[in-house]
Amino acid sequence: MSKNSTILTTVLTIALIAIGVWIGENINLLPIDASTNAPVYDELFKVLFTIGAILFLGITGLVLYSLIKFGRKPGQKGDGLAIEGNLSLEIFWTAIPAIVILFVGIYSYDIYDRMGGMQSLGASGHEHHAMNSNNKVWGGIGSSYSPGQTNKNEVLPPIPIEVTAMQFAFLFHYPEGDIISGELHVPTGQPVTMRMESKDVIHAFWVPEFRLKQDVIPGQPTILNFTPTKAGRYPIICAELCGPYHGGMRSTVVVEDSEKFNEWFNKNSKSPNLNT
Amino acid sequence: MTIANTPLKESSLQPKGWFRYFSFSLDHKVIGLQYLVCGFVFYLIGGLLASAIRVELTSPISDFMPRDVYNQVLTLHGTIMIFLWIVPVVNGAFGNYLIPFYVGARDMAFPRLNAVAFWLIPPAGLMLISSYFITGAAQSGWTAYPPLSITTPAAGQIIWILSVLLLGGSSIFGGINFIATILKLRRPGLKLMQLPMYCWAMLGTSILVVLSTPVLAGTLILLSFDIVANTGFFNPNLGGNVIVYQHLFWFYSHPAVYIMVLPAFGLVSEILPVHCRKPLFGYVTMVYSIMAIVVLGLVVWAHHMFTSGTPPWMRLFFTIATAFIAVPTGIKFFNWVATLWGGRISLNSAILFSCGFIINFVLGGITGVALAQVPFDVHAHDTYFVVAHFHYIVYGGSVFVIFSSIYHWYPKVTGRMLSENLGRLHFALTFIGFNLCFAPQHWLGLNGMPRRVAEYDPQFQLINQISSAGALLMALSTLPFLWNVFESAFKGTIAGDNPWNALTPEWLTSSPPPVENWEGEAPLVSEPYGYGVTQAEFEQSSISTYQEDEHQ
């Protein structure tokens, strides 16, 4: 490689990385973040989007450049260069993806841990349910505490909710207060731990604004934890094909400040004031 | 050395003329074309179903067809495109046509098994499609997850299982045949490491087929017991476990992705060197990366189950294994780009589709690595993001390669050239239509549109309409292609034996080739990619051209 082309390659690579970083920082493809999981997720998304943009633009650029530069001009005869391979180049582009994959893997493990994926089951308020049931319980990802709160004593106790999914609706049961509701009501800033089971086929509980999804399975309870952060009404969507009305199997999660939530809770509760 | 290396005595008893394409022919070339044309008919049917889905999704309410019909349509679309189009065509069609040439044989190792393998496909396909008209087709998606597949109408589901079992059987027969042919029917003197790359791809693919397809067959038989005999393997009401089905299903169905893309990788490796006039870059690493993909491909299945209620250790293991497939896959892509680099590339339809494949598949691969990360997947799983991802892999990947291959080998098969202008039009419509259809679906998924729905949040209507417009372009793109294929068969320029000046053995015989493949002995091609000139000659040929241009 001549000196000029080395400089040119370096400049182009830096420009490519700069464009990738700019895309990752400035193009938002996600809905608003309304749970403690969401900003953590968005951080991962930004990193993956940046790396993806660099690789995609880089390879597409190389393909297009090759087609233009090495495309056969009218009347041109003869073959291309007889290059059968280049061991150091091949080692280089085995190593680069391997390092990127390793970095992404370690980073996403960290994210996974921060989102509560590595919490052992039975922790953070699951005991309540484990005693009620002999079934083994499988956990969904989702943290029931805010990562920012280091002092666990300040964390509010999680609200237990039992979720039943059926063709084609979700039912939410609040054991404290014995409320049954078709809409999910949760307060901001307080962890929620949901124990979910299906009455018929497999469904999935998904709130895009929470960046969380967990299948709801017949004969196999699953747990999903989250802490809402922003007040609003967000869709609950069934994400597993469950029959003809699958597309219509939707509900709403109403996130409100604790005052309004308590108002709703007490109004509907059969044994009021337990949660205040 | 073997029977297949001497001219088949039976060949004189085989039907001649057009009728042989409808007969139980034992000629691998006839069987290859049977696979291709039969697959293409199913592609048109699957495409019609896809169009119906995209019409339904132009509005946020379910108004084009009844909801249960919609689920039948999406189930048939997935099943047809996978089991009746891509798998039979990238394996059966091109494999049968090319592999005997590449190993220097007169036919496949087991010609009768080969014919049986093909003739299982039309009845299986007809059965599957007729179920829609007779009993109503299966409506639990191509994944047929229980308990939904146990609770939806049984007749359609059972017919679905039967036809997938037949197609799986066909696939296993083909796999055994390819392994035997590649390993045992090589012409004397031809070493394994001299084989064209498609042979390696087919060897790897066939290993996957033979190892994993029986697991699918067993699973579907258990599922059919649950449906007709009221057993409880997967039925939670009878103590069964629905998650076990998912493990067994994906143990086949993830490798199935490689069964659809590895042969495509092989075909691209044949096409690029010919039209770039360069050796395939890094032959040895290409071989090793195929085998690495085969091994890793067998241990990644549970990444389809990250939201199913999977223990944390399992999620981590399958994240790491899945992400690492990107390394051998990445090597192949860099090697293809390096094959383009420094070439003298003819910008014809075959190259355009191959380069379209590289660009599409890189995007599909990147979203694949993202989806392999558990925390990413818990949001994106079962959404349109996944729909976009796998269409970038199987359409942007495999189907683009199928078209590229048709442009490349049509002159060999028919003896006539395809029209380049129609080919470029076909490419432009397909590439623009495909990206217009599927790129916006990434956004839809991330913002809250689940897959397999007939109705959705009205805020997604505009993006869905853009996507449907792309689908319309894709549907239109088949018109110039079909016209080209039919017109060129009669009026195309005569191709001659070797219009591309290619070195692989199928070009060293007449177009179309005789029944015995070569008039005399099979040629020994020890350097299938021996193209290229030195740097000095390359520069000389560039300069001399410019001088000629100046004279003009």
Q: Where are the domains of chain B?
A: 25-551
Contact B316 A31 (CB under 8 A): no
Contact B309 A244 (CB under 8 A): no
Contacts of B531 (CB under 8 A, 6+ apart): A79, A80, A82, B273, B274, B276, B277, B278, B279, B503
pLDDT at B536: 86
Identify which of B408, B393, B389, B420 has the alpha carbon closest to the alpha carbon of residue B488. Answer: B420
**What residue spans define the domains of chain A?**
3-69+89-114, 127-268
Chain B hits for A86, Cβ within 8 Å: 281-282, 338
pLDDT at B167: 97
Identify which of B127, B131, B39, B132 has the alpha carbon closest to the alpha carbon of residue B83. Answer: B39
Smallest Cβ distance to A62: which of B277, B337, B369? B337
Span A47-58, average pLDDT: 95
Contact A215 B538 (CB under 8 A): no
Q: Which pLDDT band holds residue A273 (cuts at 50, 70, 90)? A: low
Contact B343 A222 (CB under 8 A): no
pLDDT at B259: 96
Smallest Cβ distance to B307: which of A30, A72, A204? A204
Question: Does the pLDDT at position A150 exceed 60?
Answer: no
pLDDT at B432: 98
pLDDT at A127: 41
pLDDT at A270: 77
Minimal Cα–Cα distance from B86 to chain A, Å?
24
Chain A hits for B370, Cβ within 8 Å: 48, 52
pLDDT at A123: 39
pLDDT at B550: 46
Tell me how far apart the alpha carbons of residues B456 and B463 are, in angstroms, rounded to a whole number: 12
Q: For B477, left (φ over 0), alpha (ψ -120 to 50), or beta?
A: alpha
Location of structure tokens 């450049």: A65
Span A133-138, average pLDDT: 53
Instruction: Please write the tens of the pLDDT for every residue from A176-213.
Output: 889 999 999 999 999 999 999 999 999 999 999 999 99
Minimal Cα–Cα distance from B185 to chain A, Å?
27
pLDDT at B542: 76
Q: What's the Cα-to-Cα distance from A143 to each of A117, A163, A193, A208, B448, rounded to whole Å?
A: 7, 18, 9, 16, 21
Chain A hits for B236, Cβ within 8 Å: 217-220
SS3 string, chain A, reads: CCHHHHHHHHHHHHHHHHHHHHHHHHCCCCCCCCECHHHHHHHHHHHHHHHHHHHHHHHHHHHHHHHHHCECCCCCCCCCECCCCCHHHHHHHHHHHHHHHHHHHHHHHHHHHHCCCCCCCCCCCCHHHHCCCCCCCEECCCCCCCCCCCCHHHCCCCEEEEEEEECCEEEEEECCCCEEECCEEEECCCCEEEEEEECCCCEEEEEHHHCEEEEEEECECEEEEECECCCEEEEEEECCCCCCCHHHCEEEEEEECHHHHHHHHHHHCCCCCCCC
Residues of B (443-462) whose Cβ lies below 8 Å from A: 443, 446-448, 450-457
Give the best residue of A60, A68, A84 to mutate against chain B (max B CB count within 10 A).
A84
Give the best residue of B373, B374, B526, B541 to mutate against chain A (max A CB count within 10 A).
B373
Residues of B (368-387) whose Cβ lies below 8 Å from A: 369-370, 373-376, 378-379, 381-383
* Nearest Cα residue in chain B from A223: B309
Q: Which pLDDT band holds residue A134 (cuts at 50, 70, 90)? A: very low
Contact B310 A138 (CB under 8 A): yes
Chain A hits for B326, Cβ within 8 Å: 97, 101
Give the best residue of B75, B284, B344, B464 to mutate against chain A (max A CB count within 10 A).
B344
Identify which of B299, B368, B298 has the alpha carbon closest to the alpha carbon of residue B329. Answer: B368
Chain A contact present for B496, CB below 8 A:
no
Chain B hits for A194, Cβ within 8 Å: none
Q: Which pLDDT band holds residue A126 (cuts at 50, 70, 90)? A: very low
Give the best residue of B379, B500, B540 to mutate against chain A (max A CB count within 10 A).
B379
Contact A81 B379 (CB under 8 A): no
Give the best residue of B285, B322, B369 to mutate against chain A (max A CB count within 10 A).
B369
Chain A contact present for B63, CB below 8 A:
no
Chain A contact present for B363, CB below 8 A:
yes
Chain A hits for B375, Cβ within 8 Å: 40-41, 44, 108, 111-112, 115, 117, 141
Chain A contact present for B296, CB below 8 A:
no
Chain B hits for A57, Cβ within 8 Å: none
Chain A contact present for B338, CB below 8 A:
yes
Tell me how far apart the alpha carbons of residues B380 and B448 are, in angstroms, rounded to a whole number: 9
Minimal Cα–Cα distance from B173 to chain A, Å?
33
Chain A contact present for B483, CB below 8 A:
no
Question: Between A and B, how many CB-CB pairs are < 8 A?
Answer: 305
pLDDT at B13: 58
Contact A217 B276 (CB under 8 A): no
CATH top-level class of B25-551: mainly alpha
> What averages of pLDDT result for each successive group of 10 residues across chain B (552 residues)?
48 68 90 97 97 97 94 97 97 97 95 96 96 93 95 95 97 97 95 96 97 96 96 92 94 95 97 96 96 95 87 85 92 95 94 97 96 93 97 97 98 96 97 97 96 96 97 97 96 94 94 91 91 86 59 44
* Nearest Cα residue in chain A from B527: A84
Question: Does the pLDDT at position A112 exceed 90?
Answer: no
Chain B hits for A88, Cβ within 8 Å: none
Give the best residue of B72, B308, B538 to mutate against chain A (max A CB count within 10 A).
B308
ipTM metric:
0.91
Q: Which pLDDT band holds residue A4 (cuts at 50, 70, 90)? A: confident
Chain B hits for A217, Cβ within 8 Å: 236, 242-243, 308-309
Span A87-111, average pLDDT: 91
Torsion angle, alpha carbons of A24, B383, B214, B33, to 10: -80
- Asked whether A141 and A194 are in contact (CB, 8 A), the reply is no
pLDDT at B180: 97
Q: Which one-letter amino acid corresponds to residue B344?
A: R
pLDDT at A167: 94
Chain A contact present for B58, CB below 8 A:
no
Minimal Cα–Cα distance from A119 to chain B, Å?
9
Contact B312 A118 (CB under 8 A): yes
Smallest Cβ distance to A76: which of B279, B315, B545? B545
pLDDT at B545: 54
Smallest Cβ distance to A44: which of B334, B335, B375? B375
What is the DSSP pairing of strand A222-226 with strand A138-139? parallel
Give the best residue of A168, A201, A224 to mutate against chain B (max B CB count within 10 A).
A201
Smallest Cβ distance to B330: which of A52, A93, A237? A93
Q: What is the DSSP code string of B475-529?
A: HHHHHHHHHHHHHHHHHSPB--S-TT---SGGGSS-SSPPTTSSSSSPP--S-TT
Smallest Cβ distance to A70: which of B283, B324, B343? B343
* CATH number listed for the domain at residues A127-268: 2.60.40.420
pLDDT at A137: 64
Chain A hits for B139, Cβ within 8 Å: 244
Identify which of B117, B61, B53 has the alpha carbon closest to the alpha carbon of residue B81. Answer: B53
Tell me how far apart the alpha carbons of residues B53 and B78 are, in angstroms, rounded to a whole number: 11
Identify which of B43, B35, B261, B40 has the alpha carbon closest to the alpha carbon of residue B167. Answer: B35
